[in-house]
Amino acid sequence: MVGASSLHPRLLSSFVGDRLVQSRQPLAQLFHYNPGRKHVSMQLSRTFSGLTNLLFNRRNNLDEVPDGKRKRLRPGKLSPRRLVPNHIKRPPYVKTRMAPGIASGPEVHDLKGIENMRASGRLAAQVLNYAGTLVKPGITTDEIDEAVHQMIIDNGAYPSPLGYGGFPKSVCTSVNECICHGIPDSRPLEDGDIINIDVTVYLNGYHGDTSATFFCGDVSEEARNLVKRFNHLARDLISQTTEIPEVQVTKESLDKAISICAPGVEFKKIGKTIHDHADKFGYGVVRQFVGHGVGRVFHADPVVLHFRNNDGGRMVLNQTFTIEPMLTIGSINPVMWDDDWTVVTEDGSLSAQFEHTILITEDGAEILTQCEA
C-alpha cells in the first residue's frame, strides 16, 4: 500500500467527480496512517461529508481472476505526451502543472457564458460519441486517446485532463473494475470488456465534461445489467434523454437525478435519487468521487454527492455542474494504483459510470452534453 510519505501533497479524486483539495497542512496532520492497515483517513479543515475514508492501496494480485472468466487489470506502457498547437488556449493549471482543487463559489453564468457552456458541452458530447464508435476488441486505450486528442484540437479546444495535476493523457479510459481516472496505455480492449470514457474539453475559456460506459464485443449479462440499469435511472431524471439500450441502471440513475433538478432544489436530493435506484438492484454507490461545479474552472462548488446525505445547498438559476454516479456490482471501496491516478474496486468487481454537465433553467435542467443525433 502507499504510505503517507509517498503521497502527493494533494488529495486525488475524479475528473468525472473530482474531489481535489489543496492544503498547506503537513501530511502528518492530513493523514492518520497506521502501517499494515488498508485505510488512510484524511483530516480536512473543510467538511467533506462521506469523503474522508478514501483507500490508497497499492495495486496487488494483478493476475487474480475475480469472477473466474477475466483477469484483473494491469498497467500497460504509456506513449509520449501528445502536443497541443500553440494557438489553442490552455487552462491556467497547465502552466503551473498543479491541480488547482475545488474553486469556491458556484459556476453561474450570464447569457454569453451560457452560450459558451453550450458550445463546450456540445463538443464534449460529440467527442464522446465518436470515441464510443472506436470501442472494439483489439484497439488500445492509447489509440482511443490519440483519436480523442486529435478531434479536440482539430476543433480549436484543449483536452482538459492533459496536464491537470500531472495527468499524462487527454482522456480517462476506465476498463472493467476501474472506477475512474484510468490512464490510456498499450492495453488492447478484449471481447467482453466494459469501458468508461471520460471526456472534458476547454473551449473558449469554458469546460464541458461528460462520460459514458461502452460495451466491447460480447459483454456478460451481469455487466450489461449494471450498465443498462444505470441508464434507466438517468432516463427517469430527465425526459429528453434518449434511451441507450447498453446503458441502463447506471445511466438510469443519472437520468433520474437530472430529472429532479431545478432552481431551489436541494443538492442532497440527487444523492437520494441515485442511491434509492441503485438499492433496487443491489448495486453499490461509490462515495469518494463526486460531481462538481464546472464552467470557467474545471472543478468548482458545489460538491455533488451521489449517495444519501444531509449536506446543505440548493440549486440556482443559470448554474452549471456535473452529475456522475459510479455504481459497482461488488465492493464500493476504491484502491489506487502506484500511478496515483488509476482507481479500481477493491475486490475486482465491475464498475460503471455516466456523466453529464447540466444547466439549471427556469423549467428544470438542460443537459449541455447531450449528443444530438
* Beta carbons within 10 angstroms of residue 132's beta carbon: 19
Q: Are 197 and 214 in contact (CB under 8 A)?
A: yes
Sign of the alpha-carbon dihedral angle for 355, 361, 365, 371:
negative
Rounded Cα–Cα distance for residues 3 and 152 (Å): 37
Phi-psi bin for 138: left (phi > 0), alpha (psi -120 to 50), beta?
A: left
Check whether the bond before 302 is cis (ω within 30° of 0). Answer: yes
Is 209 annotated as belonging to a binding site?
A: yes
Rounded Cα–Cα distance for residues 339 and 169 (Å): 13
Is 145 annotated as belonging to a binding site?
A: no
Regarding beta strands 300-304 and 103-106, do their DSSP bridges make them parallel or antiparallel, or are they unpaired? parallel
Is 193 annotated as belonging to a binding site?
A: no
Is 299 annotated as belonging to a binding site?
A: yes
Rounded Cα–Cα distance for residues 31 and 40 (Å): 6
Q: Are 181 and 343 in contact (CB under 8 A)?
A: yes
Q: Are 212 and 196 in contact (CB under 8 A)?
A: yes
Rounded Cα–Cα distance for residues 230 and 255 (Å): 8
Is 275 annotated as belonging to a binding site?
A: no
- Look-up: residue for cell 455533488? 304
Is 355 annotated as belonging to a binding site?
A: yes
Is 277 annotated as belonging to a binding site?
A: no
Torsions phi, psi for 87 (to 5 deg): -75, -15
Q: How many CA atoms lie within 13 A of 88 on its CB side?
A: 21
* Residue set of the binding site: 181, 198, 209, 292, 299, 324, 355
* Residue set of the binding site for a divalent metal cation: 198, 209, 292, 324, 355
* Residue set of the binding site for substrate: 181, 299
